[in-house]
């Protein structure tokens, strides 16, 4: 009997992480982590590939570690995509109900969603491709609908969607690198959405929250309300900027600056006051960007579940309290329960993306997460892209 196994690959700017998980029961979210592997991420800049050879070698190394730990050969995987070319775009569409009894069908919902996507395609760069489309609001005859439209009656159906887009060239490069490493790409998932599956609970998503992943070179945000992602944004700033600031201010090597930033190295050869000033200055820049973005959305100070922090730099000791004061919102570090973690090398929430990818890979009801992934689209994005790969 074949084992129900899923693989998630998170190709970040700092590290490439690979996770192999197996379903423990019929539950969509109850998994056993069989093996993990990681390697230094070389050849990547702000989330896109600048040296494919380095990325291929990194994927092979990380995958090899996970395979050895799990005793399983990786054949295919779900891939997380992030970086500065990932964008969230709001668009709208409408359709007239054609059935005589005016009952809304699956076909009507598909048509109105396609109309919303087509409206967006006309406005965005031809170099971008839609990888997810998430309906965030329906209207029937101009009245907001609470719940699903199928089975309801009306003359006109409208939808507002959040579409996640990515640069086509960067997506091509990423898929090609993974497949050159000997792994078939099952599907691509926006990394912030994958992380949200394990870093946020249902209560937080319903009440209203923002998940902030503070990576090496980027900060990605995804805002949830009513259990749905309603906005996504990526900023070209991250933990590496803090490390570089410390190195310059304290006149220490980059490697030492990284250890100081994470509280792994203490000493008397530098001023604690200077260190705090340096870290807080860059954190101020990061949280000012977040606050400005929330203001544009009309959500500043209005997300009851607050901000949940994840990513490697969320481990900075002062960041939770700083976020609370800067945004005037509840703030906490994401707490993720990784099954069977004692047998693996998982130590922090930076593994959230890889774990979320495994959950999606094993889920039989992916639409229940509010995510329409590439493999489920009528045009099959991956097949479309692969025809252009060498």
CATH number at residue 152: 3.30.1490.110
Instruction: Note whether 40 and 184 are same-domain residues.
Output: yes
As a whole number, mean pLDDT of residues 204-209 equals 96
Instruction: Note whether 285 and 350 are same-domain residues.
Output: no
As a whole number, mean pLDDT of residues 57-83 equals 95
Instruction: Note whether 208 and 322 are same-domain residues.
Output: yes
Alpha helices (H) in the chain, listed in sequence order: 52-70, 106-121, 168-180, 191-199, 202-207, 239-250, 254-261, 272-297, 319-327, 352-362, 381-386
Task: Give residue 19's pLDDT.
Answer: 95
Give me the numbers of helices (H) and strands (E) for the chain, helices first please.
11, 16
Instruction: Note whether 207 and 298 are same-domain residues.
Output: yes
Instruction: Note whether 268 and 241 are same-domain residues.
Output: yes
Instruction: Note whether 109 and 72 are same-domain residues.
Output: no
pLDDT digits (tens, 9 = 90+) for 308-356: 999 888 888 889 999 999 999 999 999 887 665 444 446 577 889 999 9
Instruction: Note whether 191 and 229 are same-domain residues.
Output: no
Among residues 333, 352, 372, which one ends one of the domains? 333
Q: How confident is the model at residue 371 (pLDDT cuts 50, 70, 90)?
A: very low
Tell me the range of 39-48, 105-114, 263-272 where mean pLDDT is highest: 105-114
Q: What is the CA radius of gyration of the chain?
A: 21
Count structural domains, the chain.
3
- Range of 192's domain? 5-84+168-200+337-386
Q: How confident is the model at residue 367 (pLDDT cuts 50, 70, 90)?
A: very low
- Give the three-state DSSP class for 378: coil
Can you tell me the distance from the alpha carbon of 85 to that of 212, in angstroms, rounded to the nearest whole number? 17
CATH value at residue 234: 3.30.420.40
- Whether residue 98 contacts residue 209, with contact meaning beta carbons closer than 8 Å, is answered with no
Instruction: Note whether 368 and 247 are same-domain residues.
Output: no
- Whether residue 175 contacts residue 188, with contact meaning beta carbons closer than 8 Å, is answered with yes
Out of 39-53, 223-237, 275-289, least confident range = 39-53
Instruction: Note whether 352 and 294 are same-domain residues.
Output: no
Instruction: Note whether 65 and 193 are same-domain residues.
Output: yes
Instruction: Note whether 50 and 174 are same-domain residues.
Output: yes
């Amino acid at each position: 009997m074949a084992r129900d196994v899923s693989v998630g690959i998170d190709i970040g700017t700092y590290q490439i992480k690979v996770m192999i998980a197996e379903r423990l029961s019929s539950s969509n979210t109850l998994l056993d982590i069989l093996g993990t592997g990681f390697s230094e991420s070389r050849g990547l800049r702000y989330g896109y590939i600048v040296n494919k050879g380095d990325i291929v070698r990194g994927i092979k190394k990380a995958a090899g570690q996970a395979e050895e730990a799990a005793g399983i050969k990786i054949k295919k995987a779900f891939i997380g995509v992030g970086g500065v070319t990932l964008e969230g775009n709001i668009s709208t569409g409408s359709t007239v109900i054609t059935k005589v009894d005016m009952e809304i069908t699956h076909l009507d919902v598909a048509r109105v969603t396609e109309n919303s996507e087509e409206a967006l395609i006309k406005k965005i760069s031809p170099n971008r491709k839609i990888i997810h489309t998430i309906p965030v609001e329906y209207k029937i005859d101009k009245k907001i609908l609470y719940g699903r439209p199928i089975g309801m009656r009306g003359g006109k159906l409208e939808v507002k969607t959040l579409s996640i887009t990515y640069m086509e060239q960067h997506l091509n490069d990423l898929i090609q690198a993974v497949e050159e490493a000997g792994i078939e790409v099952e599907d691509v998932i926006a990394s912030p959405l994958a992380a949200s599956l394990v870093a946020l609970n249902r209560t937080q998503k319903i009440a209203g929250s923002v998940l902030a992943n503070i990576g090496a070179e980027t900060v990605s945000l995804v805002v949830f309300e009513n259990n749905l992602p309603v906005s996504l944004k990526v900023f070209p700033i991250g933990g590496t900027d803090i490390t570089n600031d410390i190195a310059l201010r304290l006149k220490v090597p980059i490697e030492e600056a990284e250890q100081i930033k994470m509280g792994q190295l203490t000493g008397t050869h530098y001023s604690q006051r200077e260190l705090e000033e340096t870290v807080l200055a860059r954190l101020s820049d990061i949280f000012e960007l977040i606050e400005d973005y929330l203001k544009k959305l009309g959500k500043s100070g209005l997300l009851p579940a607050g901000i949940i922090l994840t990513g490697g730099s969320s481990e900075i000791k002062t960041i939770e309290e700083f976020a609370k004061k800067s945004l005037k919102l509840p703030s906490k570090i994401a707490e993720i329960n990784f099954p069977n973690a004692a047998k693996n090398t998982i130590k922090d929430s930076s593994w959230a993306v890889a774990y979320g990818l495994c959950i999606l890979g094993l889920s039989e009801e992916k639409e229940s997460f509010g995510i329409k992934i590439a493999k489920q689209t009528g045009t099959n994005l991956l097949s479309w892209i692969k025809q252009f790969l060498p």
